[in-house]
Amino acid sequence: MTQPAEPSSLGGHRGTRGSLRDPDQPLARPKVRRMADDAQLCPECSQPLKSGGLVLSKRDDDGLRVCRSVWRCADRHTWWQWADRPEEVLESCPVPELFR
């Protein structure tokens, strides 16, 4: 009788048993792209802002549905900006009670 093939000899296709990682080989770390190295500061109180997530909304100037990134400081000032236009200034969020 023949013995079953070793997993490493089954082929080198990604995602198959033949592509098992050698235990001595270090794990590959995923590349992470940072949005910004410096934390944004609240325009009102100068405290660091924390991300509050994304909100899908319709933009008036071009009619596109685009995400707004929501930001909040420790004093609960709420700001947002268009996610695809990070260079634009933060705007005061007109409905902060929706993002509790």
Nearest C-alpha neighbor of 68 from the set 80, 79, 85: 80
Q: What is the pLDDT of residues 17-67, one digit of tens each?
A: 555 666 777 766 655 444 555 678 999 999 999 999 999 999 999 999 999
Judged by phi (left if over 0) then psi (alpha if -120 to 50, else beta), residue 37 lies in alpha
Q: What is the pLDDT of residues 79-97, one digit of tens each?
A: 999 999 999 999 999 998 9
Q: How far apart are CA 22 and CA 18, in angstroms?
A: 11
